[in-house]
Amino acid sequence: MIYATGKKDSIEYLTTVDTAGNQIWQIPYGLACRQSFPETRCTPTAEGNRIYVISGRDEVVCVDANQRAIQWKVDGFFQFEGAHAMWEIAESPLLVENKVIYTPGGDKTTMVALEKNTGETIWKTESVQDSTAYVSPILIERGGKKIIATLTHNLLLGVIADNGEILWTFHYGEYEAPTFHPEAPFINCITPIYHNGRLFITSGYDHIAMMFDLSPDGTEISIAWHQPLLDTHHGGVVLVDGYLYGSNCITNSKGNWVCVDWETGEAMYEEEWETKGSIIAAESMLYLYEERRGHVAMVKSDPSGFQLVSSFRHELGTGPNWAHPVIHDGILYIRHGKVPAAYKIRK
């Protein structure tokens, strides 16, 4: 099954579609964002028959897929006195053992863990006195610890998954803050990437990309390198065979495609192709989905240069082409507005 979020008027819906494109069921689960570009931004997180979503207005929801009904709902914004940034909520739930991880921000706490079967609060971190970003947390295993890493409006932080203790923070908003856009240091939309003791973060509008080394026990971070070229706006970054690939941000609507060495931060190439967008990788290939007109490209994951294999334009649907693609079993799934589509990519 394919699970997707969407909205009708001011209500967000969870929709289930089979791999033949047939809608199976749909239920409302929460209130939509009220700001500009108010479409849903949360990717559902599925585990067995339970589907977890976060609405644009901070409601954390567990849906029973067998019963096709809400099992529990927590109004996170009011319960935890949250503080969100300009475009409200764009966070997908992270499941760690029996916990659903959610980041309300604010003066009372920053991150919370909810019991995945009941929605009851397991722990709350102390507050770092910051509002949320538009980032989904990730799980890091380092030095025998399970550490949750995420970005808030200003900060990169690491939290112990067992008890909510904040291990480390880094003030990303202040580090070589750009002047391209007044909100540029705080528009964090890219989920961090962790691999082999290192953690990578980036954001758009000329904000510098950064790589951190984690200490062997996971309790400290230090800067390994920083790099100005790969300032990804909101299309994601992938790591393939020791190299980072993604698009950068020249303006709100323009960007090039970039490859950077994971170890050193050296820029391997910058190539103009249509404009910036989202990226996914599978079987030594990169799949690019540019945001302006919906062109899709297959590109070799080769640091020696941008090697376009084939491309086409996805013309179904309306609105910005901002939904990230998904690949499963040789099928590339593209969602544009209300229209999902599937393309065979394996011979």
Gap between the Cα atoms of 241 and 225, Å rounded: 19
Q: Which two tokens stand for residue 337?
A: 């507005």
Is the pLDDT confidence value at 21 over 70? yes
How many Cα atoms are found within 13 Å in the side-chain-facing hemisphere of 55?
27
CA-based R_g, the chain, Å: 19
Q: What is the pLDDT, as a whole number, of residue 150?
A: 98
- Which residues face 30 on adjacent strands? 12
Q: What is the pLDDT, as a whole number, of residue 347?
A: 80
Gap between the Cα atoms of 140 and 28, Å rounded: 33
The answer to whether 344 touches 322, Cβ cutoff 8 Å, is no
Q: Calculate what percentage of the chain has a pLDDT beyond 90.
A: 89
How many Cα atoms are found within 13 Å in the side-chain-facing hemisphere of 42?
33
pTM of the complete model: 0.95
Place of tokens 């400290």: 220
Q: Which domains does the chain have, with CATH numbers?
A: 240-248+270-347 (2.40.10.480)
Q: What is the pLDDT, as a whole number, of residue 140?
A: 98
Is the pLDDT confidence value at 321 over 70? yes
Is the pLDDT confidence value at 97 over 90? yes
Q: What is the pLDDT, as a whole number, of residue 213?
A: 98
Classify residue 81 as left (phi > 0), alpha (psi -120 to 50) or beta.
Answer: left
pLDDT in tens, 258-309: 999 999 999 999 999 999 999 999 999 999 999 999 999 999 999 999 999 9
DSSP state of 134: S
The answer to whether 212 touches 170, Cβ cutoff 8 Å, is yes
Is the pLDDT confidence value at 87 over 90? no
pLDDT in tens, 183-223: 666 789 999 999 999 999 999 998 899 999 999 999 999 99
Kindly write down the DSSP assignment for every residue of 179-205, as one continuous string: SSSTTGGG---PPPEEETTEEEE--ST
Q: Which two tokens stand for residue 84?
A: 């969100």
Gap between the Cα atoms of 135 and 90, Å rounded: 7
Backbone angles phi, psi at 213, to 5 degrees: -95, 135
- Region 125-153: what's the mean pLDDT? 97
Q: What is the pLDDT, as a whole number, of residue 250?
A: 92
Gap between the Cα atoms of 274 and 262, Å rounded: 25
Q: What is the pLDDT, as a whole number, of residue 173?
A: 86
pLDDT in tens, 160-190: 999 999 999 999 988 876 666 666 667 899 9
- Region 10-33: what's the mean pLDDT? 95
The answer to whether 140 touches 146, Cβ cutoff 8 Å, is yes
The answer to whether 158 touches 141, Cβ cutoff 8 Å, is no
- Region 56-62: what's the mean pLDDT? 96
| Least confidently predicted of 85-89, 302-306, 333-337 | 85-89
Q: What is the pLDDT, as a whole number, of residue 178?
A: 66
Gap between the Cα atoms of 94 and 142, Å rounded: 18
Q: What is the pLDDT, as a whole number, of residue 147?
A: 98
DSSP state of 108: S
pLDDT in tens, 120-137: 999 999 999 999 999 999
Q: Residue 1 in 3-state DSSP?
A: coil
Q: What is the pLDDT, as a whole number, of residue 175?
A: 83
Q: How far is CA 232 from the centre of its chain?
A: 12
Backbone angles phi, psi at 223, to 5 degrees: -70, 130
- Region 67-85: what's the mean pLDDT? 95
Q: What is the pLDDT, as a whole number, of residue 144?
A: 96
| Per-chain mean pLDDT for the chain | 95
Q: Which two tokens stand for residue 303?
A: 């640091």
Q: What is the pLDDT, as a whole number, of residue 17?
A: 95
Q: How many helices (H) and strands (E) does the chain have?
A: 1, 30
pLDDT in tens, 221-258: 999 999 999 999 999 999 999 999 999 999 989 999 99
Q: Which two tokens stand for residue 175?
A: 């580090």
